[in-house]
């Protein structure tokens, strides 16, 4: 495994980090706790020392599972990343969307990051995780109802108290990061990035690269789309959020599959799975510090971790990029 420095902190994260959204079950059509625990343990055995979760994932369930897994791991060798600012248990801030919990009960999700809420959420996460500190605490989404300075002041308090080791944001623009930096020294920004979602390359990547801020890339496999295992007639389980996204409309799946067919020879040449080639490409991109990859079971976790063994030359990356340039997805998923 490779380990990379988080921003200007002394924290090092595994280049491939375990993404724990799916194991919380929520919006992923369910999950098995036993499989999840085995997946985290296997990841660690293969060098994946960093785990990224969030309070909202399963409304605490993901953090609880991660906390259970931590009891069997050396805490000082594991980096726990979690998030705050999406409340399902209090109606404050801005209503983001309506959903259902794992039991099928309706819930409203609010973006809220007022100072008292941030501090309370941290305490709740520490309890669920069964730890006395969080390595990286991240604002999950921008909260337009709370001054940025107020949220960042709360993070500064938690830093001084030693309850968090570093502070970060998610889904922030470069402009929003600049505003936050007036109050706090951010370590990172966690944003979506994949072979088919590269919008951050225009502004955010240059800003983070030039200011020593880490970019944590989530959805590098685009929710499984880039594994090559999903076909246009794929049936998603009830509650799986992917069915409603444009990437998974039949026409875009078909177009992506054509791209993946062109990438398979590169993976075969490396003796690697297609997903491993995609993961390795992601962490080779300028400005990308780590890739967060989810796994529901031990087998998936090991396969993800072994992506680190795929070596790509500069020339090979250029050839892959040329293949990517040929892909054009459509917003309405209607053949053009």
pLDDT tens digits along 55-99: 999 999 999 999 999 999 999 999 999 999 999 999 999 999 999
Q: What is the pLDDT of residue 231?
A: 81
Q: What is the pLDDT of residue 332?
A: 59
Q: What is the CA radius of gyration of the chain?
A: 19
Whole-angstrom Cα distance, residue 228 to residue 260? 6
Cβ-Cβ contacts under 8 Å for 1 (sequence gap 6 or more)? 14, 15, 16, 46, 47, 48, 49, 305, 308
What ranges do the domains of the chain cover? 3-223+275-312
Whole-angstrom Cα distance, residue 47 to residue 20? 16
Query: Which residue ranges in the chain fall short of pLDDT 50?
Result: 333-336
Indicate the SS3 state at residue 221: coil
Contact 132, 80 (CB under 8 A): no
Q: What is the pLDDT of residue 191?
A: 98
Q: What is the pLDDT of residue 334?
A: 43
Q: Which of 57, 110, 137, 172 is catalytic?
A: 57
- Residue 137 bears catalytic tag: no
Q: Which residues of 20-57 are buried (b: 16+ CB within 10 A; e: fewer)?
A: bbbbbbbbbeebeeebbbbbbebbbebebbbbbbbbbb
> What's the CATH number of domain 3-223+275-312, 3.40.50.300, 3.30.565.10, 3.20.20.100, 3.40.50.970?
3.20.20.100
Q: What is the pLDDT of residue 333?
A: 44
Q: What is the pLDDT of residue 43?
A: 98
Q: What average pLDDT does the chain have?
A: 94
């Amino acid at each position: 495994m490779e380990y990379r420095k988080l921003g200007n902190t002394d924290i090092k994260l595994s280049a491939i980090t375990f993404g724990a959204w799916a194991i919380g079950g929520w919006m992923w059509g369910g999950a098995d706790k036993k499989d999840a625990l085995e997946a985290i343990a296997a990841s660690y055995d293969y060098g994946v020392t960093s785990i990224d979760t969030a309070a909202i994932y399963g409304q605490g369930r993901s953090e609880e599972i991660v906390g259970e897994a931590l009891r069997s791991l050396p805490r000082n060798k594991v980096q726990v990343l979690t998030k705050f600012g999406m409340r399902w248990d209090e109606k404050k801030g801005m209503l983001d969307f309506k959903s259902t919990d794992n039991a099928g009960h309706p819930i409203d999700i609010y973006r809220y990051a007022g100072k008292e809420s941030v501090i309370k959420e941290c305490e709740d996460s520490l309890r669920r995780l069964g730890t006395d500190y969080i390595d990286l605490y991240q604002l999950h989404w921008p909260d337009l109802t709370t001054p940025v300075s107020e949220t960042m002041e709360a993070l500064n308090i938690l830093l001084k108290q030693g309850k968090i080791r570093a502070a970060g944001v998610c889904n922030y623009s470069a402009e929003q990061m600049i505003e936050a930096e007036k109050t706090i020294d951010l370590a990172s920004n966690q944003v979506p990035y994949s072979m088919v979602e590269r919008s951050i390359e225009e502004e955010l990547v240059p800003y983070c690269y030039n200011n020593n801020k880490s970019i944590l890339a989530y959805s590098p496999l685009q929710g499984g789309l880039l594994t090559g295992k999903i076909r246009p007639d794929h049936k998603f389980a009830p509650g799986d959020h992917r069915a409603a996204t444009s990437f998974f409309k039949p026409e875009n799946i078909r177009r992506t599959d054509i791209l993946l067919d062109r990438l398979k020879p590169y993976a075969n040449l490396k003796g690697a799975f297609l997903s491993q080639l995609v993961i390795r490409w992601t962490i080779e991109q300028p400005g990308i510090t780590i890739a967060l990859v989810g796994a529901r079971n031990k087998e998936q976790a090991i396969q993800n971790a072994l992506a680190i063994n795929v070596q790509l030359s500069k020339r090979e990356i250029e050839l892959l990029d040329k293949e990517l340039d040929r892909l054009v997805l459509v917003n309405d998923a209607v053949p053009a």
